[in-house]
Amino acid sequence: MSSRQIIAQFMSNAEINVTPAPTAKEDNTTAILSYITIVGFIVAIVMHSDKKTALGAFHLRQVLGFILVSVVAGIAVGITAFILAFVPLIGPFLAMALWGSLWMVGLALWIIGLVAAINGRQTPVPVIGEPIQRLFANAFN
């Protein structure tokens, strides 16, 4: 008997009723998708409601907090930039620098979170990640 015949005979006699465990790719999908636009975040929430994973819940909380912090920071910078715009000569440049800084910090935090999701790690983003996890501890469980 050849090895193929032995394997075929074994497979035909074996009754296997095993549900496959979630693979790392399936687990990462919700986490990664949550970082891709607001629509991706909403789709990730729907996906997570069907199949809850610890990694998905962690990154959904991170993105929820990131969105809220971004909105609050955007409003604060907008008000400050509006006031700075009235300062002669240097005011508009300071306002642009403030907006640029906000965008750069936001982009860096977003990339750090996305890379952690891609690698399947539950690493909080710097500065805001741990407070977000504590604040939204019961969300997406």
Could you tell me if residue 81 is inside a domain?
Answer: yes
Query: What end-to-end distance do the CA atoms of the chain give, in Å?
Result: 53
Domain hosting 89: range is 23-135
The stretches in the chain having pLDDT less than 70 are 1-26
What is the 8-class DSSP label of residue 2? -
In a domain, 95, yes or no: yes
Asked whether residue 98 is domain-assigned, the answer is yes
In a domain, 8, yes or no: no
In tens, the pLDDT along 53-80 reads 999 999 999 999 999 999 999 999 999 9
Residue 83 lies in a domain: yes
Q: Is residue 72 part of a domain?
A: yes
SS (H, E, C) 97-123: HHHHHHHHHHHHHHHHHHHHHHCCCCC
Task: Please report the pLDDT score of residue 20 as a whole number.
Answer: 42
**Token representation of residue 3:** 């090895």
* pLDDT in the model for residue 9: 58
Beta carbons within 10 angstroms of residue 33's beta carbon: 24
- Tell me whether residue 119 is in a domain: yes
> Residue 125 is encoded by which pair of tokens?
């983003």
Q: Please indicate, yes or no, if residue 2 is contained in any of the structural domains.
A: no
Domain count along the chain: 1
Question: Taking the model in full, what pTM does it have?
Answer: 0.76
